[in-house]
Amino acid sequence: MRDLSYDAVISRKNEIMKKAVGIDYEKFMISDLVFDYEKMMDEVGYSLDKVREIQAETGVGNTTLVELKQINRLIKKIAPKGKGARIFIKDEATNPSGSYKDRRASVSVYHAQKHGYKGVIAATSGNYGAAVASQAAKRGLKCIIAQECYDSKWIGQPEILEKARSCEAYGAEVVQLTVGPELFYYTLVLLEETGFFNASLYTPYAIAGVETLGYEIAEQTKEMVGKYPDIVVITHAGGGILTGTARGLKKAGATNTEIVAASVNLKGLHMASDNDFNKKYFTTGHTGFGIPFATFPDRSDVPKNAARALRYMDRYLLVSQGEVFYITEMLAQLEGMQRGPAGNTSLAAAFALALEMDDDKVIVVNETEYTGAGKLPSAQLTFARKMGMEIKRGDPIKEDIPGKSIVIPEHPSQIGYIELDMENVRKSYVKEVMKRYNKKEFNMEEVSFMAEDTNTTEEKIKQYIKELGGELIETKKG
């Protein structure tokens, strides 16, 4: 019988993963730290044309880009003269399972089918589960979704309970766990037991699937306004949607579009804490994933994560839970689009940006997601109140305290953002590398990789290494 203890299963990780994703990562690795990212994306992923073909087979993508005309009118009313950019939104909720995640699941499930796997497994508490379950249903594969769902009192996060219902509706088995990072451990157990494909969120297949989103945004924006977007605002958690969208934009030729990440600020809440678990009213798109995954992408379930947000991120903005609930109401009440709320994180940031940008600028928000029981602001805020949160109208920037109070703006002009200093984010990346690889000395090849991986200069990386107490080995290898 297999040893199912935590340490035994984790020690079999590489062997299990190799069978379950079928990628030989060694091929692209130059050292533990350095690897050839573009080569991995080219050789393992599928071409954009092929991805479009795969997605067309299951009705994924080609969603509408909608101008938010009423919201844009509101922005012009309250912005200073000459300001007030136009916002367009990509209505990804119209994908088969209700979110952009269908794109991210489509290529993995296609690949699993092509290679004769009987089923697929994904560890996810979010929309991705429904997407994998839906794509598996379309391709006749079995599906298991493993979720982190309950606290120790068996109180389930309503948004996650809804995702479980959705997965079951598509015929998937849903395994629901209590709080802890061991969701990953148990996913390995299931992969080993079933021999199913690991539809990880972080393989080149997953990211290639999202590139069509960026590509469509570039094409549609150009057709509608005669130019590529000035800014695309992207809700940021694990980094996959940002990476894929940015790559797709570049492939379409939109190389000057600024990529802005937005996350809900949940500072101070511990992601693996049983006590904090139900104090979060967004199960994704928040800083609990966004910052760790940006600064150390290789924390994911695969040896090298294909979602590498810092390669593409130009700015990183934080908004509060209250602002996102408010903008979700605005989208429903003024645009007749009931969506989100988690996917509307980027819309809240876009609204704040639009108020300060010139009125000839164009902002694209790259997703919406389906809504309903468990997900709606009314569902989440009713739950929040039960968990003892204070909910009030007020100034969200000044009064919001994650885990204590949710502050709904009193006026749209109160929607703002907190901007993270990208220099600090990049420096945190270097700090994480030093910690994770227990490394103090860096050669030029490593400096060059880190510069590329964080979209900065080698000089900056050298400066961060020195500031963090590391050393440079100036000789070049080979």
Q: What does the binding site for another protein look like in residue numbers (CB under 8 A)?
A: 5-7, 70, 73-74, 77-78, 119, 142-144, 149-150, 152, 154, 156, 158, 161-162, 165, 168, 171-182, 185-186, 193-194, 270, 272-275, 325-326, 329-330, 332-334, 372-374, 376-383, 391-393, 408, 411-412
When the beta carbons of 80 and 469 are compared against another protein, the nearer one is 80
When the beta carbons of 63 and 380 are compared against another protein, the nearer one is 380
Ranges of H-type helices in 336-403: 345-356, 377-386, 396-399
| Smallest gap from residue 420 Cβ to another protein (A) | 24
When the beta carbons of 12 and 227 are compared against another protein, the nearer one is 12
Residues 363 and 231: beta-carbon distance below 8 Å: yes
When the beta carbons of 179 and 302 are compared against another protein, the nearer one is 179
| d(C-alpha 281, C-alpha 290), whole Å | 16
Provide the CA 51 distance to its chain's centre, in angstroms: 20
449-468 b/e with 16+ CB inside 10 Å = b? bbbbbbbbeeebbbebbeee
| Residue 54 backbone phi and psi in degrees, to 5 | -60, -45
| d(C-alpha 382, C-alpha 446), whole Å | 50
When the beta carbons of 178 and 443 are compared against another protein, the nearer one is 178
| d(C-alpha 234, C-alpha 367), whole Å | 8
| Smallest gap from residue 294 Cβ to another protein (A) | 20
| d(C-alpha 378, C-alpha 375), whole Å | 8
| Smallest gap from residue 145 Cβ to another protein (A) | 11
| d(C-alpha 245, C-alpha 307), whole Å | 11
When the beta carbons of 112 and 241 are compared against another protein, the nearer one is 112
When the beta carbons of 238 and 374 are compared against another protein, the nearer one is 374
287: helix, coil or strand? Answer: helix
User: If residue 145 lies in a helix (H) or strand (E), which one and from where to where?
Assistant: strand 142-150
CA distances in angstroms from 306 to 202, 263, 276, 333, 396, listed in the order given: 5, 20, 29, 38, 35
| Smallest gap from residue 360 Cβ to another protein (A) | 22
When the beta carbons of 105 and 213 are compared against another protein, the nearer one is 105
When the beta carbons of 195 and 253 are compared against another protein, the nearer one is 195
| Smallest gap from residue 78 Cβ to another protein (A) | 7
216: helix, coil or strand? Answer: helix
| Smallest gap from residue 274 Cβ to another protein (A) | 5
Residues 255 and 282: beta-carbon distance below 8 Å: no
| Smallest gap from residue 154 Cβ to another protein (A) | 8
When the beta carbons of 293 and 326 are compared against another protein, the nearer one is 326
| Smallest gap from residue 169 Cβ to another protein (A) | 10
Residue with tokens 């700015």: 315
| Smallest gap from residue 159 Cβ to another protein (A) | 8
CA distances in angstroms from 197 to 297, 353, 467, listed in the order given: 22, 41, 43
Provide the CA 456 distance to its chain's centre, in angstroms: 22
Residue 312: left if φ>0, alpha if ψ -120 to 50, beta else—which one?
alpha
| Smallest gap from residue 121 Cβ to another protein (A) | 10
Q: What sign does the CA torsion over 100, 130, 204, 4 have?
A: positive
| Smallest gap from residue 81 Cβ to another protein (A) | 13
| d(C-alpha 207, C-alpha 334), whole Å | 33
59's CB contacts (< 8 A; 6+ apart) are 95, 96
| d(C-alpha 395, C-alpha 387), whole Å | 22
Q: For residue 298, what is the DSSP state? A: G
When the beta carbons of 222 and 296 are compared against another protein, the nearer one is 296
